[in-house]
Structure 1
Amino acid sequence: MKEKFRRIVGLILIIVGLAIIGSIVYKKIDTSKKQKELQNILEEVINEEPRELTEEEEQKLINGYTPIALIEIPSINLSQGLVEGITDDVLQYYLGHFENSAMPGEKGNFAVAGHRVSDYSEAFVNLYKTEIGDQIIVKANKKEYIYEITDNFIVSPENVSVLDDTEDATITLVTCTVGAKERVIVTGKLVETKDL
């Protein structure tokens, strides 16, 4: 009787384990699909003249999210789409632009958030590996904005001064540390603008 019970419990644990693994794999595949869709859309949007999108266009583009730019960090092999906002539903799949911060190439602090690790997105999993002098390439509005990393440090979640506006064109990337107790901050300055 005990042997039969152990087998049943063992079988149940295997089924639960497989269900958990299946769920995680599904989420990663779903995220990869959504990010690829956004990148394809951004490739088209990047090469258009900047203009306001209608609600219908936004809905058609990426389920109501406003596409902003494609962000690349060659040193960590990152290429991710950026949309407006930093709500959970945005960061679940994409990088998010802090509303009211500067836009790509503008003077001021262009601030971006992304998950380090989650069930869905791991956009900034290697952000902490960037070094001073590495490039952050932002493609938007028929331009390629090249930022050079000036710092990489950790702050407490309460320290929001990293989002303060700046006089020059700068970029701030924000993600969590392991365990999400602190924040990894990478800052940079605009060094070059090219036409696409």
Structure 2
Amino acid sequence: MISAVYYDYESGTEVNDFNKEVELLSDKEIDARINRAKAYNESLSGNEVLHDAYSKAEEAAGKREYAKMLEVHEKMGHVEIPRIHQDLPLFAGTTERVLQEGLGHLENTSLPVGGESTHTVITGHRGLPDKKLFTDLDKMKLGDMIYVHNIQGVLAYKVDHIDVIEPSDFSKLKIVKGKDQLTLLTCTPYMINSHRLIVTGHRVPYTPEEAKKHEAAQEPWWYKFLNVYRNYLIGLAVALILYLLYRLWNKRKKKVT
């Protein structure tokens, strides 16, 4: 519990750091980077070669160079999912190191900049002892919103398909001509991992007001409480642990004397 709360704090810090660093980029640099990313996406259309993100061979062969144009301090952006109360840093590639830190962009799928004939696939682990990540992805519903924050702004996607597929079935991850799609991918069933759960959405206009409505509608009171007071709760937990360690040390000291 404490480690999960700490990760929420840590990932929140990474998200804030990304947003602050993006503010330092000039409009000219942002436009140049986005244009390079779009050129990369155009080269993929109809020619993508996909691999399972969780196969050992792909973990070893993961490459990050393709996404350099979108990175700020190694992060491509962050992904906000109101339904499961997550806002997670997004990294390039699907190596185990990446997936232990946050979400990974699946190689050979469209970079997360949107546009016609694009399909971005983002992967994340379930069941890590110290992080939730995509643990609750099975709670997603049709009509839910997903927000991808990149160096240029925010892309909004509305969930229209939720499927369970074989690890070798990439048919639902391919680019569909004329469509702008995003898929979140993780292992399923929970802790068995024999299949892949995919949550797919299509691009819709982004408005901050609409995003706030979705966030408020799907955020229970206890989550708001944790969000506001998490720093205090972390401090309290650390203080309690230190106090218990002190008591234990003091008892042992008295026994010795």
Instruction: Give the alignment's TM-score, normalised by structure 1.
Output: 0.71
CA distance in 2, matches of 1:136, 1:93: 20
Residues 102, 110 of structure 1: 8 Å contact kept: yes
Give secondary structure in 1 for the equivalent of 2:18. Answer: helix
Task: Identify the match of residue 80 of structure 2 among 56, 60, 72.
Answer: 72
* CA deviation map 1:136-159 (0-9, x unaligned): 011112311110001111111121
- Residue 130 (1) aligns with residue 143 (2): no
Q: 2:175 and 2:119 mapped to 1: Cα distance?
A: 5
Q: Match of 1:91?
A: 99
Of 79, 86, 102, the match for 2:110: 102
Partner residue in 1 for 2:196? 183
Q: Report the Cα offset of residue 194 of structure 1.
A: 5.6
Alpha-carbon distance in structure 2 between the residues aligned to 1:151 and 1:25: 34
Which of the residues 142, 155, 173 maps onto 2:152?
142
Pick the aligned partner of 1:112 from 119, 122, 135: 122
Structure 1 residues 163 and 46: CA distance shift in structure 2, 3 A: farther
8 A contact 1:46–1:143 mirrored in 2: no
Indicate if the aligned counterparts of 1:162 and 1:172 stay in contact, CA closer than 8 A: no
Q: Paired residue for 2:15?
A: 39
Separation in structure 2 between the aligned mates of residue 188 and residue 172 of structure 1, nearest angstrom: 6
Measured in 2, the distance between the counterparts of 1:191 and 1:46 equals 23
Contact 1:92 1:120 in 2 (8 A): no
User: Are residue 165 (structure 1) and residue 141 (structure 2) matched?
Assistant: no
Larger helix percent = 2
Which residue number corresponds to residue 185 of structure 2?
174
* Contact 1:143–1:194 (8 Å) recurs in 2: no
**Residue type of the alignment partner of 1:184:** L
Q: Is the 8 A contact 1:144 1:194 kept in 2?
A: no
Give the 3-state SS of the residue equivalent to 1:176 in structure 2. strand
CA distance in 1, matches of 2:96, 2:115: 26
Q: Name structure 2 gaps, 5 residues minimum.
A: 34-64, 209-257
Tell me, yes or no, if the aligned pair for 2:80 and 2:148 is still in contact at 8 Å.
yes
Q: Which amino acid aligns with 2:152?
A: K
Q: Aligned partners of 1:141 and 1:193: how far apart in 2?
A: 15
Identity level (%): 27
**SS of 2:101's equivalent?**
coil
Structure 1 stretches (4+) deviating beyond 6 angstroms? Answer: none
CA RMSD in angstroms comes to 2.8
The structure-2 alpha-carbon separation of the partners of 1:34 and 1:155, relative to structure 1 and needing over 3 Å to count, comes to same
Residues 100-145 of structure 1 deviation map (CA, whole Å, 9 limit, x = unaligned): 3112223311110000112443200111111111100111123111
SS at match of 1:92: helix
Give the C-alpha shift of residue 82 in structure 1. Answer: 0.5
How far apart are residue 42 of structure 1 and its match? 1.8
Matched residues in 2 for 1:164 and 1:156: separation? 15
Tell me which amino acid in the other structure corresponds to 2:186: T
* Deviation, structure 1 residue 25: 6.3
Structure 2 residue identity aligned to 1:106 = G
Distance 1:161 1:34, change over 3 A: farther
For the 8 Å contact 2:12–2:87, the answer to whether it is kept is no
How high is the TM-score relative to the length of structure 2?
A: 0.56
